[in-house]
A and B are shown apart, each in its own frame.
Chain A
Amino acid sequence: MEEKKNKYKIETRNISVYYDHKKVLTNVSIQIEPNSVTAFIGPSGCGKSTFLRLFNRMNDYIEGFRKEGDVFIDNKNIYNKRTNVEELRKAVGMVFQKPNPFPKSIYENVAYGLRIQGINKKNTLDEVVEKSLKKAVLWDEVKDDLKNPALALSGGQQQRLCIARALAVEPSVILMDEPASALDPISTSKIEDLIHELKKKYTILIVTHNMHQAGRVSENTGFFYLGELVEFGNTKQIFTNPANEKTENYITGRFG
Chain B
Amino acid sequence: MTHLEIELEQLKKAIIEMMDIVKNQLEKSRTALLSMDTDIAQEIIHNEIRINALELSIDRDCENIFALFNPVAIDLRFILSILKINSDLERIGDLAEGIAKFALELESSPPKNLLTEIRFNEMFELTINMLDNVIEGFIHEDTKIARQVFKKDKILNQINKDSPGTISDFVEKDPEIIKPSLYLFSVIRKLERIGDLTKNIAEDIIFHIEAKVLKHKNAVKKIK
Residues of A within 8 A of B (CB): 211-212, 215, 239-242, 248, 251-254
Determine the distance from Cα of A248 to Cα of B70 in the docked complex, in whole angstroms: 14
Interface residue ranges of B1-23 to A (CB < 8 Å)? 2, 4-5
Complex contacts, A254 vs chain B, CB 8 Å: 2, 5
User: Is the pair B2, A241 in contact by a Cβ cutoff of 8 Å?
Assistant: no
CB distance from A222 to the nearest CB of B (A): 16
CB distance from A248 to the nearest CB of B (A): 5
Provided the pairs A240-B211, A241-B211 are in contact, do residues A253 and B73 lie with their beta carbons within 8 angstroms? no
- How many residue pairs link A and B with beta carbons under 8 A? The number is 29
Residues of B within 8 A of A (CB): 2, 4-5, 70-77, 211
Determine the distance from Cα of A215 to Cα of B76 in the docked complex, in whole angstroms: 14
User: Is the pair A251, B73 in contact by a Cβ cutoff of 8 Å?
Assistant: yes
User: Is the pair B4, A253 in contact by a Cβ cutoff of 8 Å?
Assistant: yes
List 15 A–B pairs whose Cβ atoms lie within 8 Å, in order of A's numbering.
A211-B72, A215-B72, A239-B72, A239-B73, A239-B76, A241-B73, A242-B73, A248-B73, A248-B74, A251-B73, A252-B4, A252-B72, A252-B73, A252-B75, A254-B2
Determine the distance from Cα of A248 to Cα of B75 in the docked complex, in whole angstroms: 10
User: Is the pair A240, B70 in contact by a Cβ cutoff of 8 Å?
Assistant: no
Complex contacts, B5 vs chain A, CB 8 Å: 254
Determine the distance from Cα of A254 to Cα of B211 in the docked complex, in whole angstroms: 19
Of the listed residues B4, B73, B77, B211, the one surrounded by the most CB atoms of chain A closer than 10 A to its CB is B73
Complex contacts, A212 vs chain B, CB 8 Å: 70
Determine the distance from Cα of A211 to Cα of B75 in the docked complex, in whole angstroms: 15
CB distance from B31 to the nearest CB of A (A): 43
User: Is the pair B4, A240 in contact by a Cβ cutoff of 8 Å?
Assistant: no
Provided the pairs A240-B76, A241-B77 are in contact, do residues A252 and B211 lie with their beta carbons within 8 angstroms? no
| Nearest chain B residue, comparing its CB with the CB of A215 | B72
Other than the given A211-B72, A239-B76, A252-B74, 7 more pairs (CB < 8 A) read A240-B72, A240-B76, A241-B77, A242-B73, A248-B74, A251-B72, A251-B73
CB distance from A136 to the nearest CB of B (A): 28
| Nearest chain A residue, comparing its CB with the CB of B80 | A240
Determine the distance from Cα of A252 to Cα of B4 in the docked complex, in whole angstroms: 9
Determine the distance from Cα of A94 to Cα of B2 in the docked complex, in whole angstroms: 36
Complex contacts, A211 vs chain B, CB 8 Å: 72
